Amino acid sequence: MTACKATKYILFICCYIFWVGSGVMIAVGIYAKVAKENDVVDTLATDPALLLLTVGSLTFIITFLGCFGALRDSAILLKIFLGILMVILFLQIAAAVLGFLFSDLVLKRTELLMKKAIVLYREDMDLENVIDFVQKKFLCCGANYYSDWSQNAYFNCSVNNPSLEACGVPFSCCVRQQNETVFNSMCGYKSQGIDESLVKERIYINGCLNKIVLWGKQNLLLVGGISISLLCLEICMISLAAAQLSQIQKKERKKANYRPK
């Protein structure tokens, strides 16, 4: 196999894998959207299904250009594919630099998004599952403190709240007891209304934001390794696309300069 064909098929295989993966993301996103009874959450940051659909659709279009551009030796498709990848790479680097320089602002924005997600907790099943997963994974409750759940209409700790969950927290905030055979899903009942020294025995009182930041610092090598791996993969695909495009352009120039005797 010549270098030209090797470049072509390696690029095609890489793009094809992402193309299939993006198709799966779109299918899951569509299923999650259709399965919802009351779709009131429609913002990208707080709707996991919409996020899957958006990212999956963009990836599907971009990798489609790469797949068919590589397979059909199409200079136009490869140029568009190469241009989009370079823009994405530039945006990722810019976002990383800005995130490092303005880390306090990023934390504030993240805190606002988490509090907004808490408000919409009961409005979207997918969002509810994501929040429960995070709270169980990091052994935390709320954004900064367990009392953040009072911002939710169902868990609001006011005398006028008719909800049975009033002044409580979700089950995912609860401390699992040793030798517990049956999990009590109402373990967070009225947790906001009792003394803090007692509530610690029932639920986790610290928020998830600091726990996630701490986890990121403790697993800096893992996070950095994944980020660098994705960056290297993008650079590799850019290099392959640029190499094939250069080979196509050389062939076109040879054809243009060829003069039969």
Please give the pLDDT value at position 76.
92
Judge if 123 and 62 occupy the same domain.
Answer: no
- Tell me the Cα Rg of the chain: 25
Is 68 found in the same domain as 160?
Answer: no
Domain count, the chain: 2
Q: Residue with structure tokens 């409580």?
A: 168
Whether 16 and 96 share a structural domain: yes
Structure tokens at 6: 């090797």
> Residue 256 contacts by C-beta under 8 Å, 6 or more apart in sequence?
none
CA 6 to chain centre: 33
Same domain flag for 140 and 195: yes
| pTM more than 0.95 | no
pLDDT tens, N- to C-terminus, the chain (261 residues): 566 788 888 889 988 999 999 999 899 888 877 776 555 555 655 677 788 888 899 999 999 999 988 888 888 999 999 999 999 999 988 988 888 888 888 889 989 999 999 998 988 888 888 899 999 999 999 999 999 999 998 999 888 888 888 888 998 998 887 776 666 777 888 888 787 778 888 889 999 999 999 998 888 888 888 888 888 888 999 999 999 998 888 888 887 776 554
Residue 183 in domain: yes
On whether residue 15 sits in a domain, the answer given is yes
Please tell me whether residues 208 and 136 are part of one structural domain. Answer: yes
Q: Measured over all CA atoms, what is the biggest interatomic distance in the chain, rounded to whole angstroms?
A: 97
Do 208 and 155 belong to one domain? Answer: yes
- Which residue shows structure tokens 């169902």? 154
Burial profile 230-254: b = 16 or more Cβ within 10 angstroms, e = fewer:
eeeeeeebbebbbbbbebbeeeeee
Which of 150, 153, 148 shows the shortest CA–CA distance to 120?
Answer: 153
161 & 233 share domain: no
- Whole-angstrom Cα distance, residue 208 to residue 231? 28
* Packing angle, helices 220-257 and 208-218, rounded to 10: 70
Residue 194's domain is classified under what CATH number?
1.10.1450
Q: Does one domain contain both 31 and 123?
A: no
Q: How many residues does the chain have?
A: 261
Structure confidence at residue 159 (pLDDT): 81
